[in-house]
């Protein structure tokens, strides 16, 4: 239960997690609790157990773990109460209005249409997804007396167009087998790796199993990657499932989030869908946990409490005696290894549904042709051919902005970020130099600040520049750029995707934002403009990520009955990572990487923990981590290797110098006791107060 306690001269919200016998430890004077905030436990015992396990495993303070996973109002000590959700309906007068009468007010027309299709009314969460300025639109309609407002205790809902034609599919034999294997484990722990290529019907398998979970009166928790939570996916669940669906998306207000959380905790939500942090949503009758696109890096929290939602989910499923399903077309090496060891049961779906054939993948050798705009002549030919057939093209470049380097040919000056070891990225439309690491922005200089020469050159390609090039090469073609710059405005992403779904010859150009989740059936050609970024990334997972990305974007092509094609531009076509990808053989690709990992004793064969430290003074982080190293040496080091300390690959970031110390071990049981012994003494080490340090257990990124 939460309590209010005195803390210094202020008070704080705290959580009682256990009762100590007697008066507490000697040498302490106990103060009294000021107020008990809950009538009963705010979290079920199983959730507290999970959080305690997580705090111990990630060596993170339990208080931060607990409060970090509560909905904000509970964190602030507010009461766990539902909200009155206003639902908006058409009034009788509103029902008589014809859409044509509103031709000059398209937002109002759209909202009237939406309400007409939702006879049960719509709430703020729904209207906000429909119209970024929904309040103003609604007010205009209410002023004409076309709207009726009603308070109800119903949950903030998902966007759901009731689809009268909806009928679940009859599963094909592969799907049936997978669904039966999972259903057979309902009511107990069981871990499944659903390894199925894109479009093989994994989501349909989830839905089928969820039906059975709900029929048993239990609940399902579904986690999806950060950018995979699209209204279409939510609608698919909402259409299918015969129970309330609580969606935890980033657009919810704090109170809406609490409401959805309470519905899950109290057993009213049949399905809970959310991103990473939804793993901490308690359920009264846990029935199954599903992690879609389990390989996705967004399941790892990269700051503060650095947990991995997939790994926590497996532990949670074990503790709550429910099955867990990890689904992916490109499983993580960790999960493949677990399946290989027999810890997970592997279920394979190898066929695409319907006529869709997997696209042909080929490499375009960038050494062959001239490459001054990032687009090889072979790729441009293919783009032209697909457009001529009335199809859509998706071009993928993981670098936004105009150009990554602004350079003076006279003296060699390069625009660098004053606060980071990084180039400033030139953004032409905003006319800014922008550092993507610390957000520093400045106007680009007209002349070289070093030699005063004019004629600075923009070198290299970003999405903004490729868009400009394409406009010149394919005049009259609709070119849609999707990256963080073009989707900053609320609702912009949905509007752009709507344009794509409208069909017609189009070029869609984007960063990894478009690599997953979106079903874009008109696309027949996918071009990957710079695969080499992935081949030579600083991180040992770079190639794994590149392969996953290539097969994921390849999964976007040719989903309908039109055959697809994927072109990968590279300067290193002979790189051994490519050949299994060309054959769509993710298994062989992963197998090669697993062998390399085994040789290097890297995950999933070895276990890693990374200490990071940063400070304004360059020498301090290294000195502090050196002291950590020395401390570790005095403790038992059996089976643990210490690597470093070294400066981080990007040493200076946002004005701070960074260093790291890596601990590597073949056995968790060697690594964790050492971490446990180290943590309490770190703050007492010399220099500890002048650095910010953190520990990342099972780090996903090494910088």
Does residue number 456 form part of the binding site for Zn ion (CB under 5 A)?
no
Residue 450 within binding range of Zn ion, rule CB under 5 A: yes
Q: How many CB atoms lie within 10 A of CB 364?
A: 21
Distance in angstroms (rounded) separating the CA atoms of residues 57 and 198 = 33
The listed partner (Zn ion, ligand ADP, none) that binds 200, CB under 5 to 8 Å by sort, is ligand ADP
H or E stretch at 209: helix 202-215
250 touches Zn ion (CB under 5 A): no
Question: Among the candidate windows 286-294, 417-425, 460-468, 499-507, which touches Zn ion by CB under 5 A?
Answer: 417-425
Task: Tell me whether residue 186 is exposed, middle or buried, using C-beta atoms within 10 angstroms of its C-beta: 0 to 12, 13 to 18, 19 or more.
Answer: middle
From the CB of residue 254, how many other CB atoms can be counted at a distance below 10 Å?
14
Span from 451-459, 498-506, 559-567, 590-598 in contact with Zn ion (CB under 5 A) = 451-459
In terms of CB distance, is 217 or 587 closer to ligand ADP?
Answer: 587
Contact (CB, 8 A) for 131 and 107: yes
Task: From 164-172, 429-437, 533-541, 633-641, give the range in contact with ligand ADP by CB under 6 A.
Answer: 164-172
Q: Is 459 a binder of Zn ion (CB under 5 A)?
A: no
Strand duo 245-248 + 345-349: pairing:
unpaired
Q: How far is CA 78 from CA 2, 37, 71, 72, 256, in A?
A: 10, 8, 10, 9, 14
* 658: nearest Cα among 416, 437, 439: 437
Name the binder of 277 from Zn ion, ligand ADP, none, CB < 5-8 A by kind.
none
Scanning residues 345 to 374, which ones bind ligand ADP (CB under 6 A)? 353
Token output for 276: 């990473």
For 502-547, give the secondary structure using H, E and C: CCCCEEEEECHHHCCCCCCCCEEEEEECCCHHHHCCCCCCHHHHHH
Among 155, 199, 401, 699, binds ligand ADP (CB under 6 A): 199
Size of the site for ligand ADP (CB under 6 A): 14
**Measured distance CA(519)–CA(555) in Å, rounded:** 10
Among 137, 198, 335, 391, binds ligand ADP (CB under 6 A): 198
Q: Which residues on neighbouring strands pair with residue 660, listed in sequence order?
A: 612, 646
Task: Choose the binding region for ligand ADP from 198-206, 539-547, 610-618, 693-701 (rule: CB under 6 A).
Answer: 198-206
Q: How many CB atoms lie within 10 A of CB 166?
A: 11
Q: In 367-388, which positions are buried (b, 16+ CB within 10 angstroms) versus exposed (e)? A: eeeeeeebbbebbbebbeebbe
Could you tell which of ligand ADP, Zn ion, none binds residue 198, using a CB distance below 5 to 8 A set by kind? ligand ADP
| Nearest CB to ligand ADP, comparing residues 203 and 398 | 203
CB proximity list for 37: less than 8 A, separation 6 or greater: 1, 2, 3, 4, 13, 77, 79
Q: Residue 413 touches which of Zn ion, ligand ADP, none (CB < 5 to 8 A by kind)?
A: Zn ion
Stretch 349-408 residues interacting with Zn ion (CB under 5 A): 408
Indicate whether 560 belongs to the interface with Zn ion (CB under 5 A).
Answer: no
Letters for 200-239 (x = contact with ligand ADP by CB under 6 A, - = none) are xxxxx-----------------------------------
Stretch that binds ligand ADP, among 128-136, 165-173, 263-271, 382-390 (CB under 6 A): 165-173
Residues 167-226 that bind Zn ion (CB under 5 A): none
Q: Is 1 in the site for ligand ADP (CB under 6 A)?
A: no
**Binder among 1, 33, 110, 171 for ligand ADP (CB under 6 A):** 171
Q: Which of 642, 645, 682, 635 is nearest to 665 (CA)?
A: 642
**Residue 674 Cβ, how far from Zn ion at the closest point, in Å?**
35
Measured from the CB atom, the residue of 462 and 517 that comes closer to ligand ADP is 517
Q: How many residues does the chain have?
A: 703
Nearer to ligand ADP, 175 or 570 (CB): 175
In the list 72, 169, 409, 595, the residue contacting ligand ADP (rule: CB under 6 A) is 169
> Which residues are at the interface with Zn ion (CB under 5 A)?
408, 410-411, 413, 417, 419-420, 435, 437-438, 440, 448, 450-451, 453
Q: Which residues bind ligand ADP (CB under 6 A)?
A: 169-172, 175, 196, 198-204, 353
């Amino acid at each position: 239960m939460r309590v209010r306690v005195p803390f210094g001269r202020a008070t704080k919200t705290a959580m009682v997690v256990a009762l100590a016998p007697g008066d507490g430890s000697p040498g302490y004077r106990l103060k009294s609790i000021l107020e008990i905030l809950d009538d009963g436990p705010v979290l079920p015992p199983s959730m507290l157990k999970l959080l305690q396990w997580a705090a111990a495993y990630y060596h993170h303070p339990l208080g931060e773990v607990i409060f970090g996973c509560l909905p904000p109002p509970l964190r602030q000590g507010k009461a766990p109460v539902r909200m009155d959700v206003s639902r908006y309906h058409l009034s009788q007068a509103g029902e008589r209005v014809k859409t044509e009468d509103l031709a000059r007010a398209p937002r109002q027309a759209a909202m009237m249409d939406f309400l007409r299709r939702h006879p049960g009314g719509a709430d703020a969460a729904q209207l906000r997804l429909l119209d970024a300025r929904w309040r103003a639109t609604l007010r205009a309609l209410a002023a004409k007396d076309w709207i009726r407002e009603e308070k109800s205790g119903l949950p903030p809902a998902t966007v759901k167009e009731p689809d009268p034609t909806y009928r679940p599919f009859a599963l094909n034999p592969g799907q049936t087998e997978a669904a039966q294997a999972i259903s057979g484990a309902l009511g107990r722990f069981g871990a499944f790796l659903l390894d199925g290529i894109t479009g093989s019907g994994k989501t349909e398998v989830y839905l089928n199993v969820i039906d059975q979970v709900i029929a048993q009166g239990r609940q399902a928790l579904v986690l999806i990657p950060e950018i995979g939570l699209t209204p279409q996916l939510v609608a698919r669940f909402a259409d299918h499932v015969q129970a309330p669906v609580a969606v935890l998306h980033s657009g919810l207000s704090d109170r809406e989030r609490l409401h959805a959380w309470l519905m899950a905790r109290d057993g009213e939500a049949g399905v809970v869908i959310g991103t990473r942090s939804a793993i901490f949503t308690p359920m009264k009758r846990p029935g199954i946990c599903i992690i879609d696109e389990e390989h996705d890096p967004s399941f790892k929290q990269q700051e503060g409490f650095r947990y991995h939602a997939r790994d926590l989910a497996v532990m949670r499923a074990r503790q709550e005696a429910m099955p867990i399903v990890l689904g992916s077309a490109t499983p993580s090496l960790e999960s493949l290894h677990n399946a290989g060891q027999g810890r997970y049961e592997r279920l394979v779906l190898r066929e695409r549904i319907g006529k869709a054939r997997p696209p042909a993948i080929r490499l375009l050798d960038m050494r062959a042709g001239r490459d001054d705009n990032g687009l090889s002549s072979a790729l441009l030919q293919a783009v032209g051919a697909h457009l001529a057939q009335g199809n859509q093209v998706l071009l993928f470049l993981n670098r936004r902005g105009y150009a990554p380097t602004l350079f003076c040919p006279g003296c060699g000056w390069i625009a660098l970020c004053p606060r980071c070891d990084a180039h400033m990225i030139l953004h032409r439309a905003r006319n800014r130099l922008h550092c993507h690491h610390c957000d520093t922005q400045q106007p680009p200089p007209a002349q070289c600040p070093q030699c005063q020469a004019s004629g600075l050159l923009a070198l290299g390609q970003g999405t903004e520049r490729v868009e400009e090039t394409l406009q010149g090469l394919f005049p009259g073609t609709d070119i849609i750029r999707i990256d963080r710059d073009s989707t900053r405005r609320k609702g912009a992403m949905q509007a752009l995707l709507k344009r794509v779904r409208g069909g017609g010859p189009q070029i869609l150009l984007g960063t990894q934002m478009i690599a997953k989740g979106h079903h874009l059936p008109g696309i027949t050609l996918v071009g990957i403009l710079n695969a080499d970024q992935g081949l030579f990334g600083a991180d040992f997972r770079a190639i794994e990520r590149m392969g996953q990305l290539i097969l994921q974007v390849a999964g976007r092509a040719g989903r309908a009955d039109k055959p697809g094609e994927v072109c990968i531009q590279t300067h290193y076509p002979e790189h051994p990572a490519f050949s299994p990808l060309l054959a769509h053989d993710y298994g062989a690709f992963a197998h090669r990487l697993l062998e390399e990992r085994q040789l290097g004793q890297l995950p999933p064969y070895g276990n890693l923990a990374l200490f990071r430290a940063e400070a304004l003074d360059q020498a301090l982080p290294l000195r502090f981590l050196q002291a950590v190293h020395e401390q570790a040496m005095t403790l038992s080091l059996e089976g643990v290797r210490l690597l470093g300390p070294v400066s981080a690959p990007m040493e200076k970031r946002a004005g701070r110098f960074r260093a790291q110390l890596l601990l590597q071990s073949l056995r968790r049981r060697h690594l964790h006791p050492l971490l446990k012994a180290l943590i309490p003494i770190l703050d007492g080490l010399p220099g500890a107060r002048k650095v910010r340090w953190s520990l990342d257990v099972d780090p996903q990124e090494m910088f």
